[in-house]
Amino acid sequence: EDPERLARFEARVAAEDKIEPNDWMPEAYRRTLTRQISQHAHSEIVGMLPEGNWITRAPSLRRKAALLAKVQDEGGHGLYLYAAAETLGTSREALVEQLLSGRAKYSSIFNYPTLTWADIGAIGWLVDGAAIMNQIPLCRTSYGPYARAMVRVCKEESFHQRQGYEIMLTLARGTAEQKAMAQDALDRWWWPALMMFGPPDGESAHTDQSMRWKIKRFTNDALRQQFVDATVPQGHFLQLTFPDPELRFDEASGHWQYGAIDWEEFRQVLAGNGPCNRERLEARRKAHAEGAWVREAALAHAAKRRARRAA
Interface with ligand ACO, residue 196, by CB under 6 A: yes
Interface with ligand ACO, residue 134, by CB under 6 A: yes
Give least dist CB 146 to ligand ACO, A: 9
Give least dist CB 137 to ligand ACO, A: 9
Identity of the amino acid at 124 = G
CA–CA dist 84, 29 (Å, integer): 14
- Using Cβ positions, the residue closest to ligand ACO within the complex turns out to be 198
Interface with ligand ACO, residue 280, by CB under 6 A: no
Nearer to ligand ACO, 109 or 172 (CB): 109
| Piece of the chain touching ligand ACO by CB under 6 A; list 2-10, 36-44, 50-58, 168-176 | 36-44
Interface with ligand ACO, residue 204, by CB under 6 A: yes
List of residues 6+ apart from 46 with CB closer than 8 A: 99, 106, 107, 110, 280, 284
The number of residues making up the chain comes to 311
Residues 216 to 255 in contact with ligand ACO, rule: CB under 6 A: 216, 220
**The one among 25, 33, 34, 36 contacting ligand ACO by CB under 6 A:** 36
250 beta partners = 255
CA–CA dist 215, 202 (Å, integer): 18
**The one among 199, 225, 228, 277 contacting ligand ACO by CB under 6 A:** 199
Give least dist CB 284 to ligand ACO, A: 14
Interface with ligand ACO, residue 40, by CB under 6 A: yes
Q: Alpha-carbon Rg of the chain, whole angstroms?
A: 21
Question: Is the distance from CB of 2 to CB of 25 less than 8 angstroms?
Answer: no
Measuring CA to CA, how many Å separate 107 from each of 14, 45, 130, 196, 198? 29, 10, 12, 7, 9
Interface with ligand ACO, residue 108, by CB under 6 A: yes
DSSP state, residue 124: I
Binding mask 176-195 for ligand ACO (x = CB under 6 A): -------------------x
The per-residue b/e assignment along 244-258, b for 16 or more CB within 10 angstroms, e otherwise, is beebeeeeeeeebeb
Alpha helices in 87-219 (DSSP H): 92-100, 118-122, 128-135, 144-172, 176-195, 207-212
CA atoms within 13 A on the CB side of 196: 30
Interface with ligand ACO, residue 35, by CB under 6 A: yes
**The one among 13, 29, 33, 39 contacting ligand ACO by CB under 6 A:** 39
Binding site residues, ligand ACO, CB under 6 A: 35-36, 39-40, 43-44, 47, 105, 107-108, 131, 134, 195-199, 204-207, 210, 216, 220, 270
